């Protein structure tokens, strides 16, 4: 088990998101457990969809089921599992309920596909027994030809072709069987979401479907990327991220797939696609926004019928607060007033306990100095320990401890009440102009 940093997105804008993305997408984990918040599942499904786009070997853990129950929120885990096509477990980690389901889902994720391969091979053997079945099929076709309007030779040739097809199907590699089984499963879940494979004229299921101009670009870029990569990374995901023009992703590509980063053919194909987009008036910002909106809309679709609110107005208060704290007219003024109030309270309120601590600690300094003189401690050592180290410690504690004791609890309360995420939202556009994100405002 590897515990990677928590994040809300693999479209990395911070160091922790980069670490999570690199491990999931480039380190080839056996499986990924994505922990979601049951009280705001739709928001967390954005990350789930991004992980599933990179790797299908995932388990979705819907945590805080007890909190969702308190808020009269019902989660249909079976329907969510059916729509996502991966195992889903419901847990309440605080009370340690449902944790065993994670291991069960991991076993299903890791070993179920191998069982399906064996079942597929058994089904093929039952349908026809390879070379041994060939004479029987021919004889059967010959006997039936007397009652059929078709010529006997045609029947025999069809039987031979059928037997040869069965023999070929039995010799298919495991990888083909996996793709076939997965394609059938996903097609049943999302029949409307398929893409055309240019090499094999068949439809394969896709959980995330981008606008057509992006899909066309992915189709054009895929063969070039596939030939330049090692084949271990999801080609579709990699193409989408290259088209998203994420700078820190290219650093990861140089580290993990150097052949792709150094490929002139890939760079040429990307430049050609972007030139065509510019000619059509499609800018990079629109591409990134369109890609991000796909995940948001898909998460909204997945939650329809999965998340059931018994109290339809349970979040009305939060929506009103969102409108007040994030609107253009009131968001920034309230933010400045709140932060100004916290800083004023911290600085002004810290003066009194700071003065009290200073009096107490510096009162001990005289006692320590007299004690050292009474004990016959040399003046050099006494000055070093009492008037040097102790005095410095007393200054630091009396000056720094009161503001920290006031500021950090207030900051924690703002985070618990949900105001700090709204501050990050307000400042996100400003920080994007500095190639940063709104979350970094909280550290400043």
pLDDT digits (tens, 9 = 90+) for 239-266: 998 998 877 788 888 888 888 888 889 8
What value does the mean pLDDT of the chain take? 78
pLDDT for the residue numbered 205: 52
Cα-trace Rg, the chain: 32
Q: Which tokens belong to 184?
A: 């059938």
Residue linked to tokens 């939060």: 318
Q: How far is CA 330 from the centre of its chain?
A: 32
Q: 10 Å Cβ neighbour count for 90?
A: 19
DSSP state of 96: T
* Contact (Cβ atoms closer than 8 angstroms) between residue 25 and residue 233: yes
Is CATH 3.40.50.300 what the domain over 15-109 is classified as, yes or no? yes
* Contact (Cβ atoms closer than 8 angstroms) between residue 222 and residue 236: yes
pLDDT for the residue numbered 130: 40
Region 291-303: what's the mean pLDDT? 92
Q: Which tokens belong to 299?
A: 């998460």
Residue linked to tokens 């909106």: 293
Region 99-110: what's the mean pLDDT? 90
Indicate if the pLDDT at residue 187 is higher than 70.
no
Region 352-368: what's the mean pLDDT? 86
Instruction: List, for residues 20-52, the tens digit of each pLDDT value.
Output: 888 998 888 999 999 999 988 998 999 999 999
Between 260 and 219, whose confidence is greater? 219
Indicate if the pLDDT at residue 436 is higher than 80.
no
pLDDT for the residue numbered 92: 93
DSSP state of 307: E
pLDDT tier, 113 (very low <50, low <70, confident <90, very high otherwise): low
Where are the alpha helices (H) located in 375-390, listed in sequence order? 379-382
Between 247 and 335, whose confidence is greater? 335
* Contact (Cβ atoms closer than 8 angstroms) between residue 90 and residue 77: yes
Is CATH 1.10.1040.10 what the domain over 196-309 is classified as, yes or no? no
Q: What percent of the chain has pLDDT over 90?
A: 28
pLDDT tier, 53 (very low <50, low <70, confident <90, very high otherwise): very high
pLDDT for the residue numbered 82: 92
* Contact (Cβ atoms closer than 8 angstroms) between residue 41 and residue 307: yes
pLDDT tier, 7 (very low <50, low <70, confident <90, very high otherwise): confident
* Contact (Cβ atoms closer than 8 angstroms) between residue 87 and residue 81: yes
pLDDT tier, 273 (very low <50, low <70, confident <90, very high otherwise): very high
Sequential DSSP letters for 139-165: HHHHHHTTSSSS-HHHHHHHHHHHHHH
Region 171-181: what's the mean pLDDT? 38
Indicate if the pLDDT at residue 201 is higher than 70.
no
Which residues neighbour 272 within 8 Å (Cβ) at sequence distance 6 or greater? none
Region 282-311: what's the mean pLDDT? 90
pLDDT for the residue numbered 141: 40
Region 91-106: what's the mean pLDDT? 91
Lowest mean pLDDT among 14-18, 83-87, 358-362: 14-18
Q: What percent of the chain has pLDDT over 70?
A: 78
pLDDT for the residue numbered 112: 67
Indicate if the pLDDT at residue 188 is higher than 70.
no
- Give the residue from 270, 199, 202, 260 showing the smallest Cα distance to 233: 260
pLDDT for the residue numbered 444: 62
Indicate if the pLDDT at residue 281 is higher than 60.
yes
Indicate if the pLDDT at residue 65 is higher than 90.
yes
- Give the residue from 56, 68, 83 showing the smallest Cα distance to 303: 83
Indicate if the pLDDT at residue 372 is higher than 70.
yes
pLDDT for the residue numbered 333: 92
Between 271 and 129, whose confidence is greater? 271
Instruction: List, for residues 119-147, the tens digit of each pLDDT value.
Output: 434 343 344 444 444 344 334 444 444 44
- Give the residue from 84, 75, 15 showing the smallest Cα distance to 46: 84
pLDDT for the residue numbered 167: 42
SS3 203: strand
* Contact (Cβ atoms closer than 8 angstroms) between residue 38 and residue 91: no
């Amino acid at each position: 088990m590897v515990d990677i940093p928590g994040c809300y997105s693999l479209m990395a804008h911070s160091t922790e998101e980069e670490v999570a993305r690199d491990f999931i997408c480039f380190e080839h984990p056996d499986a990924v457990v994505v922990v979601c918040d049951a009280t705001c599942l739709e928001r967390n499904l954005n990350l789930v969809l991004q992980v599933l786009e990179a790797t299908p070997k995932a388990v979705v853990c819907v945590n805080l089921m007890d909190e969702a129950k308190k808020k009269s929120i019902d989660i249909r885990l079976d329907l969510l599992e059916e729509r996502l096509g991966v195992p889903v477990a419901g847990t309440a980690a605080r009370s340690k309920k449902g944790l065993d389901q994670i291991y069960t889902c991991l076993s299903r994720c890791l070993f179920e596909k191998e069982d399906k391969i064996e079942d597929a091979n058994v089904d093929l053997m039952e349908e026809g027994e390879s070379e041994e079945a060939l004479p029987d099929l021919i004889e059967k076709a010959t006997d039936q030809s007397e009652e059929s309007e078709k010529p006997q030779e045609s029947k025999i040739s069809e039987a031979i072709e059928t037997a040869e097809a069965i023999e070929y199907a039995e010799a298919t590699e495991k990888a083909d069987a996996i793709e076939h089984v997965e394609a059938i499963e996903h097609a049943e879940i999302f029949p409307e979401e398929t893409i055309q494979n240019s090499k094999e004229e068949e439809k394969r299921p896709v959980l995330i479907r981008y606008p057509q101009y992006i899909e066309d670009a992915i189709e054009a870029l895929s063969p070039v990327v596939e030939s330049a990569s090692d084949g271990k990374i999801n080609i579709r995901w990699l193409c989408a991220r290259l088209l998203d023009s994420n700078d820190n992703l290219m650093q990861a590509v140089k580290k993990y797939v150097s052949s792709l980063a150094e490929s002139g053919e890939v760079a040429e194909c990307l430049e050609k696609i972007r030139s065509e987009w510019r000619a059509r008036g499609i800018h990079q910002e629109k591409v990134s926004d369109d890609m991000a909106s796909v995940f948001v809309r898909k998460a909204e679709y997945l939650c329809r019928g999965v998340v059931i609110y018994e109290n339809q107005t349970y979040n009305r208060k939060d929506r009103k607060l969102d409108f007040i704290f994030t609107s253009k007219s009131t968001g920034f003024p309230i933010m400045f007033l709140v932060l100004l109030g916290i800083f004023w309270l911290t600085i002004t309120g810290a003066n009194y306990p700071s003065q009290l601590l200073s009096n107490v600690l510096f009162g001990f300094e005289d006692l320590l100095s007299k004690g050292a003189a009474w004990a016959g401690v040399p003046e050099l050592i006494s000055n070093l320990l009492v008037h040097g180290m102790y005095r410095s410690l007393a200054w630091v504690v009396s000056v720094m401890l009161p503001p920290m004791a006031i500021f950090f609890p207030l900051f924690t309360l703002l985070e618990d009440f949900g105001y700090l995420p709204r501050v990050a939202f307000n400042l996100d556009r400003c920080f994007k102009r500095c190639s940063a994100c709104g979350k970094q405002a909280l550290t400043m």
